[in-house]
Amino acid sequence: MKITNHIIKLKTAATLDFIDITEKVKEKIKETGITNGVINIQSLHTTMAIIVNEAEPLLISDMKTLLEKLAPRTFKYAHDNFEIRTVNMCDGECANGHAHNKAIHLPTSALLNISSHNLQLGQWQRVFAVELDRSRPRQIALQIMGR
């Protein structure tokens, strides 16, 4: 039984950037030499999600539209009212209430099977890191367990 931890570092480009990390994840699995097990792909951020879906550009544009409808940037979030907010304020704090509110409806992590030395995915399944906030440096933690 082997357990290894890895970090994937990314620089996202903009709000609702969908970054296909499938190949990077597969590489890390190959490196471990694990044949059968599981991998947990975990966002280390509260405004970045991990989703498993199809890499079709028009579909991704639809997803952006519907996520925007679910937690619109135009909604007045109390989290963004810096006149009353006192908790977790950083230098250069930006309004990102919409990003957190999109995040709770999307998974923080995806646990996927490893079978025959590879990520077990259906024909159209790809793994995406989804930037919900603005362009930022990001980290995805991978925990690979198996033998």
Query: Residue 87 interacts with a second copy (CB under 8 A)?
Result: yes
Q: Which of 89, 93, 20, 15 is nearest to 51 (CA)?
A: 20
Query: Residue 79 interacts with a second copy (CB under 8 A)?
Result: yes
Query: Residue 143 interacts with a second copy (CB under 8 A)?
Result: yes
Query: Residue 22 interacts with a second copy (CB under 8 A)?
Result: no
Considering only the stretches 9-17, 20-28, 105-113, report the one whose residues sit in contact with a second copy under the rule CB under 8 A: 105-113
User: Residue 25 CB: number of other CB atoms within 10 A?
Assistant: 23
Query: Residue 120 interacts with a second copy (CB under 8 A)?
Result: yes
Give residues in contact with a second copy (CB under 8 A).
Answer: 1, 3, 5, 36-38, 40, 42-46, 51-59, 61-63, 66-67, 70-71, 75, 77-79, 81, 84-85, 87-88, 97, 100-101, 103-115, 120-122, 124-125, 139, 141, 143, 145-147
